[in-house]
Structure 1
Amino acid sequence: MATATKDKFTGTTTEDLAAQVDALKADIAALTQSLGDYGRTQSAHLAESARASGEAEYEHLRSKVADLGNQAEDFVVQKPGVALGIAAGIGFLAGLVISRR
């Protein structure tokens, strides 16, 4: 074990330096813990914010799709001949694309 020697200029001993190093280690450990806690808190906050935003966007898109479905249904009811012609055209084009593979 090291013996305590005193610096003749500053009056500091090796034990004093060892105690200061130990205090510095404890401070760094506490700072690391605080930064970790802060990071976890911020990530949880951001995750919750992103989830809420995603849910709101999902609901908005779901209502848009429902509106488009209602518009398509109304179009088919109002103009069944045109709707049948469009469906036949899309089917014909899909058949051409699939048969060329």
Structure 2
Amino acid sequence: MIKCDWCFSPQAEQGKNTVYWELPDGSRAIEIINSPCVICRKCGMTYQEENIIEQIEEQLLLINTSLLEKSITFSELMKQPRLLKRNYFKFD
């Protein structure tokens, strides 16, 4: 059971949606299709959980974003080869 982070209703479920993300260098935004999300049937909120946000931001930081098209699926984004194995600036 998932509880909505906004209204705390137990009527939330896993889903997928399209999000738009600014690249770390601020040069442009990309469309990420089929991104995992939470959809609340009570309040109507659709949002990415913190772990998904961290995955997207870390991946965009560690890949060559100049090779990305304007639109990409979440799974294709996560498969992009990394320039570094991990984020060496993340200390937790």
Output the TM-score relative to the length of structure 1: 0.20
Output the TM-score relative to the length of structure 2: 0.22
* CA radius of gyration, larger in: 1
Greater relative CO, 1 or 2 (CA 8 Å, sep 6+) = 2
**Higher relative strand content:** 2
**Higher relative helix content:** 1
